[in-house]
Amino acid sequence: MKHDAIAVIDFGGQYAHLITTKVRRHRVLAEILQPEDPIEKFTQYKGIIISGSPALSSHGEDSSYTKEIYDLDIPILGFCFGHQEIAKHYGGKVVHGGLEWGRADMHIVRDHPLFRGLGKVETVWMSHFDSVAEIGPDFEELGYTLLGDAGKVHHNAAIGSDKLKRYGFQYHPEVDDTIHGDEMIANFVKDICGCKDSWTMDNYIDEKVNAIRRQVGDQSVFLLASGGVDSTVAAKLFGMALGPDRLHMLHVDNGLMRKDESAGVLRMYEDLGLGNNLHFVSAADAFLEALGMEVEPEKKRAAIGNTFVEVFEREAKKLGIEDHLLGQGTIYPDTIETGGTKRADTIKTHHNRVPIIEKMIASGKVVEPLADLYKVEVRELGEKLGIPHDIVWRHPFPGPGLGVRLLCSDGNEDQNACDALVPDLQAAAGQYGLDAIVLPIKSVGVKADLRSYEHPVMFSGAADWNKLVEASGKVFKEVAGINRCIWNLSPNAPRSVRTLRATITQERLDLLREADHLMMEGLKRHGIYQDIWQCPTVLVPLEIDGEGKELCILRPIYSERAMTAAAAPLPTALIDELRDQILSLPGICGLAIDLTSKPPGTIEWE
Ligand code: XMP
């Protein structure tokens, strides 16, 4: 192998691919291997990292992998599931329990090369149901965590055996919320494995351009271009690789866009010199019809994804370019969240990963130059390609647009299931002096690499932001069946909440578009648009205290790669303005802000 390299074994954890990206950032090549790959494949690497997994190590799930890796004289480091597997293999004990979500303080037991240059206490990111209860004879505890609640000690957050060169982290150093995760990964890769930093990204654009030319051959590309940063960067790369005549672009107004979005997108492409073969189609009716009476998130997503393909094929036919390959600005989280690697759970089906597109991919009809990148890398690439800053740093907008921010219901929510959660909820939220109510509607989340579809809790009462976030952490830990907490911004605490029957309609879309517009304008007016990574505005069909028909929820978050996120507070003055503006929109009966990190929530509600 030309470069020193690390093998990352992908057990299907949501962050497995992120590990390779993080290693590569230290200019060391990292490659994904499958757990059942033959042992010969592993011997050429200078180190092995075992990823997390949706499987439970305590139950022996996914345990028939190439265990001969443990016989190799190559350092091995495991994260979460990988950590538990290493502990088990060397005589430790893994139990189902000791779960932790989100940020935790890890106390480092002694100076160790893995933690070189770090403090005695480090913030790490946890997301697990299983834990290592005992370690084997050759191992030592290198770190333990104390979670907020009265100093409860969680042992074996980090373990290691210098003799065997085997190490494990219960947490995820690869996610940005482990504040010094990068340093920990670099310490393993460089100090313990001895890798030299010879792999550079400087020729990345050339590599991509060549890859497009190889894949496309003498054909041409018809690119679905939403106007977001991903499809815009993809358009630039296609233009460089193929020249303007072999690139056609299609912008579809699916009726689920932001206020005045499509006109702005078309102007932007002209300004970027991409107007040569730019086509536009207004297809709002087709999308509304396809969404029909659907209320389930995955069915809505399927309807939207399929309609994109239908519209694309119709337009290609009209233009006489049916032979063109479909171009998409798909990025890595789109694939991983759709369960697109062998073991990953489907958290939600991204619009560019519906089965009909998967089929086209399998038959070589799709080209996606950004499919192994995260948003942060796409933005870096966009800057290198000279795309203006404002475009590169626009908030991401999901392909299904407002369709996944407009929750629907058949009106038959199970109130008894919500009532059953109340005693545990009161015990958890009571100590913070907050009123708490379970909302009779469900939203999508991700817990320990698995999809969840559970109820949100709404807190009412005065508290500072950190206390609210802490209270939400306690609820997630102690009340099963909750994956989101929101804070009521309306003047009164609700006494009764009822779910209403609702589907996607033009009237609801227009209302959400207006609320979203007020939110976006507010962020810009207060100069914080770029500090906030993304800010969905969501409508939930609820009647509160016998009035209105929509609860509006603001979802400002901080993130870097969208695989994790933290709720972002808004300035009080902005909240006051939004309260006045949004509560006076017709039909809105409440306003709240989302306090939920990802995990256990996701960024979008569906
Ligand atoms: P979640 O909600 O899973 O979202 O935390 C992660 C990021 O992905 C965006 N998103 C999508 N983007 N097509 C897209 O192009 C989709 O179907 C889709 N669904 C979610 C979401 O806005 C967030 O930035």
For residue 238, what pLDDT is reported?
97
Q: Is residue 557 part of a domain?
A: yes
Is the C-beta atom of 544 inside 6 A of ligand 1? no
Q: Is residue 92 lining ligand 1, measured as CB closer than 6 Å?
A: no
Assess if residue 278 is contained within a domain: yes
Give the pLDDT confidence of 116-137 residue by residue, as tens digits: 999 999 999 999 999 999 999 9
pLDDT at 457 over 80: yes
Reported as a single tens digit per residue, the pLDDT across 59-118 is 999 999 999 999 999 999 999 999 999 999 999 999 999 888 888 999 999 999 999 999
Q: How far is the CA of 118 from the centre of ligand 1 (A)?
A: 34
**Residue 308: per-residue pLDDT:** 97
Listed residue (132, 101, 192, 113) closest to 597, CA to CA = 101
Query: Of 337, 369, 397, which residue constitutes the final position of a domain?
Result: 397
- Final residue of a structural domain among 397, 424, 448: 397
Which residue's CA is the closest to the ligand 1 atom numbered 20? 398
Asked if residue 517 and residue 438 are part of one domain, the reply reads yes
Q: What is the DSSP string of 541-580?
A: -EEETTB-SEEEEE--EE-SSSSSBEE----HHHHHHHHH
DSSP letters, 319-383, are: HT-TTSEEE----HHHHHHTT-STT---S---GGGSHHHHHHHHTT-EE-TTTT--HHHHHHHHH
**367 and 421 within one domain:** no
- Number of structural domains in the chain: 3
Ligand 1 centroid, distance to 33 Cα (angstroms): 26
CATH of the domain at 111: 3.40.50.880
Which range, of 6-20, 110-124, 167-181, 347-361, averages the lowest pLDDT?
6-20
- What average pLDDT does the segment 239-254 reach? 97
Atom of ligand 1 nearest to the CA of 400: 17
Could you tell me if the CB of 398 is within 6 A of ligand 1? yes
Q: Which pair of structure tokens corresponds to residue 522?
A: 């507010």
Least confident of 15-19, 90-94, 110-114, 362-366: 15-19
Q: Let me know whether 372 and 461 are in one domain.
A: no
- 523 and 433 in one domain? yes
Q: What is the pLDDT of residues 496-522, one digit of tens each?
A: 999 999 999 999 999 999 999 999 999
Q: Is 550 near ligand 1, meaning CB less than 6 Å away? A: no
Task: Output the pLDDT for position 113.
Answer: 98
Active-site residue, selected from the candidate residues 85, 100, 122, 174 = 174
Tokens 């834990």 correspond to: 131
Q: Whose CA is nearest to atom 11 of ligand 1?
A: 398
First to last CA, the chain: 43
> Active site includes 172?
yes
599 found inside a domain: no
CA angle 18, 63, 168 (to 5 degrees): 50
- Please report the pLDDT score of residue 448 as a whole number: 82
Q: What is the pLDDT of residue 518?
A: 98
What mean pLDDT do residues 522-536 have?
Answer: 98
Tell how far the Cα of 397 is from the centroid of ligand 1, in angstroms: 7
Residue at 404 is within a domain: no
pLDDT, one tens digit per residue, over 387-433 is 999 999 999 999 999 999 999 999 998 888 999 999 999 999 989 99
Q: Over pLDDT 70: what percentage of the chain?
A: 98
Q: Is residue 491 part of a domain?
A: yes
pLDDT at 570 over 90: yes
Ligand 1, residues 232, 328, 564, 604: which to mutate, most atoms within 8 A of Cβ?
Answer: 604
Q: What is the pLDDT of residue 335?
A: 84
Quick one: pLDDT at residue 151? 66
Give yes or no for a contact between 408 and 301, defined as CB atoms under 8 angstroms apart.
no
Nearest CA among 283, 394, 267, 271 for reference residue 329: 394
- From 232, 332, 334, 561, the mutation candidate for ligand 1 (largest count of ligand atoms within 8 A of CB) is 334
Q: What is the reported pLDDT for 149?
A: 55
Question: What six digits make up the tokens of 221?
Answer: 């590309």
Both 39 and 176 in a single domain? yes
Above 90 in pLDDT, residue 257?
yes
Q: How many CB atoms lie within 10 A of CB 30?
A: 24
Does the CB atom of residue 154 touch ligand 1 within 6 A? Answer: no
Q: Kindly state whether residues 326 and 474 are assigned to the same domain.
A: no
The 3 state secondary structure assigned to 182-246 is HHHHHHHHHHHCCCCCCCCCCCHHHHHHHHHHHHHCCCCEEEECCCCHHHHHHHHHHHHHHCHHH
Atom of ligand 1 at shortest distance to CA of 604? 2
Q: Are residues 364 and 433 in the same domain?
A: no
The more confidently predicted of residues 104 and 340 is 104
SS3 159: strand
At 101 the pLDDT is 83
pLDDT grade for 446, boundaries at 50, 70 and 90 = very high
Distance (Å) from CA 605 to ligand 1 centroid: 10
Is there a single domain that holds both residue 213 and residue 331? Answer: yes
C-beta 399 within 6 A of ligand 1:
yes
One domain, residues 251 and 112: no
Confidence of residue 57 (pLDDT cuts 50, 70, 90): very high
Q: How far apart are CA 526 and CA 97, in angstroms?
A: 44
Q: What is the mean pLDDT of residues 573-583?
A: 98
Give one word for 562, left, alpha or beta, with left for phi > 0 and alpha for psi -120 to 50: left
Distance CA 422, CA 417 (A): 9
Atom nearest to 301 CA in ligand 1: 17
> 604: Cβ below 6 Å to ligand 1?
yes
Q: What is the pLDDT of residue 200?
A: 67
Candidate from 152-156, 216-220, 537-541 with smallest mean pLDDT: 152-156
- pLDDT band of residue 202 (cuts 50, 70, 90) is low
Q: Does ligand 1 lie within 6 Å of residue 351's CB atom?
A: yes
What is the structure's pLDDT at 96?
Answer: 96
Higher pLDDT, 267 or 201: 267
Q: Let me know if 80 is a catalytic residue.
A: yes
Ligand 1 pocket mutation pick from 348, 368, 395, 559 by most atoms within 8 angstroms of CB: 348
Q: Which residue has the tokens 């629907």?
A: 408
Does the C-beta of 174 come closer than 6 Å to ligand 1? no
The pLDDT of 581-606, averaged and rounded, is 97
Which ligand 1 atom is at minimum distance from the Cα of 396? 24
Q: What's the confidence (pLDDT) of residue 572? A: 97
- Give yes or no for residue 337 CB within 6 A of ligand 1: yes
Q: What is the DSSP letter of 493?
A: -
Q: Please tell me if the CB atom of residue 396 comes closer than 6 angstroms to any atom of ligand 1.
A: yes
Higher local confidence (pLDDT), 495 or 31: 495
Cis ω before 400 (30° cut-off from 0) = no
If you take atom 17 of ligand 1, which residue's CA is the nearest one?
A: 350
CB 456 within 8 A of CB 418: no
Q: How far away, in angstroms, is 229 Cα from ligand 1 center? A: 13
Task: Based on the fold, state whether residues 487 and 560 are members of the same structural domain.
Answer: yes
pLDDT classification of 494: cutoffs 50, 70, 90: very high
Q: Residue 402: inside a domain, yes or no? A: no
**Residue 589's pLDDT band (boundaries 50, 70, 90)?**
very high
Domain range for 549 is: 409-594
Residue 403 resides in a domain: no
Query: From atom 4 of ligand 1, which residue's Cα is the shortest distance away?
Result: 603
Q: Is residue 50 helix, strand or coil?
A: strand
Element (H, E) at 537: strand 537-540
Measure 350 CA to ligand 1 centroid, in angstroms: 7
For ligand 1, the distance from its centroid to the CA atom of residue 337, given in whole angstroms, is: 9
**Coil, strand, or helix at residue 588?**
strand
Residue 413 carries which DSSP code?
-
Ligand 1 atom with the smallest distance to the CA of 351 is 17
Q: Inform me whether the pLDDT recorded for 147 exceeds 80.
A: no
Residue 344, pLDDT score: 79
Annotated active-site residue in 83, 154, 172, 351? 172
- The Cα 438–Cα 475 span in angstroms is 11
- Residue at token pair 């006045």: 580
Q: Predicted confidence band at 255 (pLDDT cuts at 50, 70, 90)?
A: very high
**Cα(482)–Cα(469) distance, integer angstroms:** 14
Helices (runs of H) and strands (runs of E) counted in the chain: 18, 25
Do 215 and 362 belong to one domain?
yes
The predicted structure's pLDDT at residue 39: 97
CATH number for the domain that contains residue 371: 3.40.50.620
Q: Which residue has the higher pLDDT, 395 or 153?
A: 395
Q: State which of 15, 337, 379, 560 you would mutate to test the pocket of ligand 1, scoring each by most atoms of that ligand within 8 A of its C-beta.
A: 337
Instruction: Kindly tell me if the per-residue pLDDT of 150 is higher than 80.
Output: no
pLDDT of residue 199: 73
379 & 441 share domain: no
Q: Which amino acid is at 574?
A: L
- Separation of CA 163 and ligand 1 centre (Å): 44
Q: Is 68 a catalytic residue?
A: no
- Domain of 527, CATH number, reads 3.30.300.10
Using 50, 70 and 90 to split pLDDT, how confident is the model at 17? Answer: confident
* Residue 26 counted as domain residue: yes
The alpha carbon of 404 and the centre of ligand 1 are apart by a number of angstroms equal to 9
pLDDT of residue 198: 81
Q: Give the rounded percent of residues in the chain with a pLDDT score beyond 90.
A: 84
Per-residue confidence at 311, pLDDT binned at 50, 70, 90? very high
Which helix (H) or strand (E) element contains residue 265? Answer: helix 261-271
Is the pLDDT at 31 greater than 70, yes or no?
yes
Task: State the closest ligand 1 atom to the C-alpha of 228, by its place in the atom list counted from 1.
Answer: 15
Residue ending a domain, among 357, 375, 397, is 397
Instruction: Answer whether 585's CB lies under 8 Å from 514's CB.
Output: yes
Q: Average pLDDT, stretch 19-40? A: 91
